[in-house]
Amino acid sequence: MDRALEFAPACHRFKILKAECLAMLGRYPEAQSVASDILRMDSTNADALYVRGLCLYYEDCIEKAVQFFVQALRMAPDHEKACIACRNAKALKAKKEDGNKAFKEGNYKLAYELYTEALGIDPNNIKTNAKLYCNRGTVNSKLRKLDDAIEDCTNAVKLDDTYIKAYLRRAQCYMDTEQYEEAVRDYEKVYQTEKTKEHKQLLKNAQLELKKSKRKDYYKILGVDKNASEDEIKKAYRKRALMHHPDRHSGASAEVQKEEEKKFKEVGEAFTILSDPKKKTRYDSGQDLDEEGMNMGDFDPNSIFKAFFGGPGGFSFEASGPGNFFFQFG
């Protein structure tokens, strides 16, 4: 069209075709500028009205877009492109609003269906579809379908890589599924774009959880909940320490003995940390335990075991049958 306009620079038809191409390429300000120039000279030009509406439609200003499409159809009732665009715009607006209403009412299944139907109306409307994917992702997160929610948010940012809300939603889903590295990456993207206190705090929280996830999970090692009481921690240590004590596995293969020794040491580490309120608080908050002077590399699990069971060596494991052992105090 640029080459055609070199030969006919005043041709409105060529200018409008160029404007429509620009709109389809996502260059909306340029397209609107061309259409506006024509409308200043001819306010009844249906093609120019259609292009103005098309730009607004693709920028997710659907209500204003419909007004231009309707005006274009008044000027040219048989304008096929304006007719299709107007129908799509109205359908998108209605489905999206119905989906929002269902979501607010807590009817997540219906909201999911409505957003899905809306996504099928016009694959070319990138901005609106990005919002629809994000909205459906929010629905999936409410339904605890977190992998589906992540996929929807990913589709949203593929369509619009500046869409902060989609990054935030996906990051929260990553946090909920303990994918902390991915969450940190999304929160970093958000904070680089919008340096707010809230976004900074979200990033710090994700970085802390990532740091904590790379440490040994002492609660898991003892088999207790993070809110376990002191007595529950002691009972868990008693059970796990006896289960993995090297003496109990003295007749096993070298490989099994090595594995049980490792588990016995980890159980002792876990008890040492979780039974000490100060160390437990530091551990729960993600702080470095090395600052407390604890070097787990030199940790002696036997000393903890002896102290817990009340004596320097007054115990032994004895066989009571094939593969069975009982714990005996001296």
pLDDT digits (tens, 9 = 90+) for 158-184: 999 999 999 999 999 999 999 999 999
Does 266 have pLDDT greater than 60?
A: yes
How far apart CA 229 and CA 122 sit, in angstroms, is 56
Quick one: pLDDT at residue 314?
46
Portion of the chain with pLDDT greater than 70, in percent: 90
318: helix, coil or strand?
Answer: strand
pLDDT digit string (tens) for 79-103? 999 999 999 999 999 999 999 999 9
Range of weakest confidence among 1-10, 56-65, 171-180, 317-326: 317-326
Q: For the chain, report the end-to-end CA distance as a whole number of angstroms.
A: 98
Instruction: At 132, list the tokens.
Output: 């629809």
Rounded alpha-carbon distances, angstroms, from residue 53 to 7, 18, 28, 48, 122: 28, 15, 11, 9, 15
pLDDT the model gives residue 129: 96
Concatenating the DSSP letter of every residue in 16-42 gives HHHHHHHHHTT-HHHHHHHHHHHHHH-
Rounded mean pLDDT, 52-67: 94
Indicate the residue type of 31: A
Closest by Cα among 314, 248, 301, 297 to 272: 301
Distance CA 141, CA 147 (A): 9
Q: What pLDDT was estimated at residue 295?
A: 53
User: Domains of the chain (ranges plus CATH)?
Assistant: 1-86 (1.25.40.10), 125-214 (1.25.40.10), 218-289+301-307 (1.10.287.110)
Q: Which residues contact 78 (CB under 8 A, 6 or more apart)?
A: none
Q: Does residue 7 surpass a pLDDT of 70?
A: yes
Answer for the pair 171, 186: CB distance below 8 angstroms, yes or no. yes
Least confident window among 59-63, 191-195, 291-295: 291-295
How far is C-alpha 77 from the chain's CA centre? Answer: 47
Q: Say if residue 269's pLDDT is above 90.
A: no
pLDDT at 330: 40
Give the length of the chain: 330
In this prediction the pTM is: 0.71
Calculate the alpha carbon distances from 71 to 45, 49, 179 in Å: 10, 7, 50
Separation of alpha carbons 313 and 297, rounded Å: 23
d(CA 222, CA 258): 19
C-alpha 206/C-alpha 180 separation (Å) is 6
Q: Compute the distance between CA of residue 1 and CA of residue 20 in angstroms, rounded to an integer.
A: 11
Percent of the chain at pLDDT > 90 equals 59
